[in-house]
Amino acid sequence: MRISKDEYKEKSTNVVSYKEQAERMRALQSEQRKVVEKMKRIPYKIAVLSSKGGVGKSFVTSNLAIAMSSIGKNVAVLDADFHGPSIPRMLGLSSTKGLLAKEDGSIVPAVGANGVKAVSVGLMLPEEDTPVIWRGSLKTTAIRQLLAYTDWEGIEYLFIDLPPGTGDEQLTIAQIIPHLTGFLLVTIPSEVSKHVVKKAAAFARKLNIPLLGIIENMSYFKCPDGSVQYIFGKGAAEEISAEYNIAFLGKIPIDPKIRESNDRGEAFFLKYPDLEASKSFMSIAKKLLEVIEKQKVT
């Protein structure tokens, strides 16, 4: 019996593709080993999760990073939001700045506001408006490679900014970072946000990732006449905190100075320390520090 030419061609093509698959598998395992090695050296790794879009995750991530940096900690942010990266702007980094690579190929994080280091696809695009059109598998690979090949030397606190949802990016972070310190939840007070953020809490529980606390953002607005408007309703964070037994870290009001500062890449709480929002934010950062330092696993 002879193998036909076509069959032979098909089989040999398969042999090559098996080889390729084996090589890919080896590369993937080597990257994962690097991730484990590098992440083990970072004592605190905190991912900011919400499921809901537009509630202030990137604002909370960038400002908490600045808060930790301003008390002398060595802090970095990984922007895992590839489609809507906000970290470069919120840390005062120009999106056209680019990221440097060392001779050994490792990525050097950019240095943003108050010395916070940042790695973001938003810093690698040709123009600020260039869209990132990636499917899930590409995003998983990008997260793994950014974790594996960035020079995280000396970093004590790694904050990870996540996009909305409980999909590829959130799952990848939960599964490939060993001893993730935990997820930090952010919600606004609305019913719509409450129900979506509960999904994020349930997601963390399913994956056995600690829930470090919940922050309620945009809780109220204080009018110039002193009256208080609960624009998005009341009580969402308290309800989630009680139902999922998560530490309630505090409330941040709506304040135009927050939005302006985020757009300028500055920390509102350092520029306007007397604002009610700044005091609430500092108290939240202090509580979070207490919670995470209890969770330390090296």
Ligand X SMILES: Nc1ncnc2c1ncn2[C@@H]1O[C@H](COP(=O)(O)OP(=O)(O)OP(=O)(O)O)[C@@H](O)[C@H]1O
Name which of Mg ion, ligand X, none residue 56 binds, using a CB cut-off of 5 to 8 Å depending on partner kind.
ligand X
Contact string (CB under 5 A) for Mg ion, positions 60-99, x = contact: --------------------------x-------------
SS3 of 74-99: CEEEEECCCCCCCHHHHCCCCCCCCC
217 binds Mg ion (CB under 5 A): no
Q: Which is nearer to ligand X, 84 or 115 (CB)?
A: 84
State the residue number with the nearest CB to Mg ion.
58
**Residues that bind ligand X in the complex, under the rule CB under 6 A:** 50, 53-59, 81, 84, 86, 163-164, 217-218, 252, 254-255, 258-259, 262
Among candidate residues 86, 84, 60, the one with its CA nearest the CA of residue 217: 60
Among candidate residues 64, 62, 151, 65, the one with its CA nearest the CA of residue 101: 151
10 Å Cβ neighbour count for 67? 23
* Both tokens assigned to 145: 């490679």
Q: Which is nearer to ligand X, 112 or 163 (CB)?
A: 163
58 binds Mg ion (CB under 5 A): yes
Name which of Mg ion, ligand X, none residue 109 binds, using a CB cut-off of 5 to 8 Å depending on partner kind.
none
Q: Which is nearer to Mg ion, 148 or 186 (CB)?
A: 186
Rounded CA-CA distance 217/60 in Å is 9
219 binds Mg ion (CB under 5 A): no
Rounded CA-CA distance 28/5 in Å is 34
Q: Which is nearer to ligand X, 113 or 254 (CB)?
A: 254
Fill in the amino acid letter for 275: L
Q: What is the DSSP letter of 54?
A: T
Binding site for Mg ion (CB under 5 A): 57-58, 86
